[in-house]
Amino acid sequence: MKAARILEYKKPLVIEDIPIPDIQPDEVLVKVAACGMCQSDILLVDGFFQTYADIPPPVIPGHEITGTIEKMGNLIPKVAGLAEGDHVAVSPGWGDGVCRHCQAGNHQICPNVRWPGFGTYGGFAEYIPVPARYIIKVPKNLTLTQLAPLTDAGLTPYRAIKKVRDAGGFGPDRVIGVFGVGGLGAYAVQYAKLMSGGGKVVAFARNLDKLAIAKEYGADHIIAIKGKSAADVGKELQQATGQGKLDAIIDTVGAPEMMQMGFSLLATSGHYADVGFMGDRLDIPLFPRVSGEQTFHGSFWGNNTDLSEVMALAAQDKIKHTIKTIQFDQINEYIELLRAGEVLGRAVVEY
């Protein structure tokens, strides 16, 4: 099969032919139809994750995966409801199934988790072996190219917004900020409108074209932050919404400067949910967090339930997409475009 692999960190991917992988008795072999490209792929190529885990090359990146079942292991029970030829999405975090997090359904935070696209096999290849319990069957009338980004770009902000909703951070009198309108932020704006109980949604970003997408996808207001202080942005927020603070923030970037601005704009008893990690350190005053009884939510990817809910929204035509389809031999080109922030929405490799 054709695969794009990291043979050496901080170098372009090497496109080469390698053997189609074997599968274990509890696995299926997925023939990849589409794979989204993510900023995490850039961080992986650049060696960012080596600080937290040893991921020795060769590595096949790509974790936003949809495709069809090519082959099934002989221990997969009929009750799983899977068959060769089924259209499927790949749930991104594969837990050990026995830890307390897996038992609670949160396999993506299992201490022994495996990630497609962060090891031997990933979506930048024509086939990938996947444990059957981490396969989500999807209707055949849905476009696999559109569904691929939903396994991360659409899944990750969904879980974060659920966290804030369940913590009581939303309501009709609340103002919700979405920071960043890249691959994740465009979905976050839509979920915030769907799930915030009538709150006002304000999108914040540096890029005017991305802000236009946020407006198209339902943001009540958009605010460009490039070159502006937190005080300036607060004044614009006051003019737009009638209040200069945000009751909840969904941060899809995690850049230190943006987070410092966000926390300075967070209201008393406000909720800040971060899913991004474009930076690796944060320096913010502690007293306003304590005295204002603010809550910070770390939110990481999503579980099978979250992904099933996102796919159900897609099946009901409640999710819009901004997708640029590319061919396999364009992967390195688009890694550089992503690195420069020049991709609107999500680049998706089609096979």
Least confident among 136-145, 156-165, 258-267, 339-348: 339-348
CA distances from 186 to 34, 190, 195, 235 (A): 19, 7, 15, 24
The answer to whether the beta carbons of residues 249 and 270 sit under 8 Å apart is: yes
pLDDT tens track for 205-241: 999 999 999 999 999 999 999 999 999 999 999 999 9
Pairing of strands 246-251, 266-274: parallel
- Asked whether residue 42 carries a pLDDT value surpassing 90, the answer given is yes
Side chain identity at 304, as an amino acid letter? N
How far apart (Å, rounded) are the C-alpha atoms in residues 198 and 103? Answer: 34
How far apart (Å, rounded) are the C-alpha atoms in residues 99 and 187? Answer: 31
Q: How confident is the model at residue 272 (pLDDT cuts 50, 70, 90)?
A: very high
Q: How confident is the model at residue 30 (pLDDT cuts 50, 70, 90)?
A: very high
Residues 6+ apart with CB under 8 A from 117: 41, 44, 60, 61, 62, 63, 65, 92, 123, 124
pLDDT tens track for 66-119: 999 999 999 999 999 999 999 999 998 999 999 999 999 999 999 999 999 999
Mean pLDDT of 249-275: 96
pLDDT tens track for 174-212: 999 999 998 999 999 999 999 999 999 999 999 999 999
The reported pLDDT for the residue numbered 304 is 96
How far apart (Å, rounded) are the C-alpha atoms in residues 56 and 70? Answer: 28
Mean pLDDT of 304-333: 96
The answer to whether the beta carbons of residues 241 and 203 sit under 8 Å apart is: no
How far apart (Å, rounded) are the C-alpha atoms in residues 261 and 153? Answer: 23
Instruction: Report pTM.
Output: 0.94
CA distances from 310 to 102, 149, 316 (A): 20, 11, 10
Catalogue all structural domains in the chain, each as residue range(s) with its CATH number.
Answer: 2-152+302-350 (3.90.180.10), 156-298 (3.40.50.720)
Mean pLDDT for the chain overall: 96
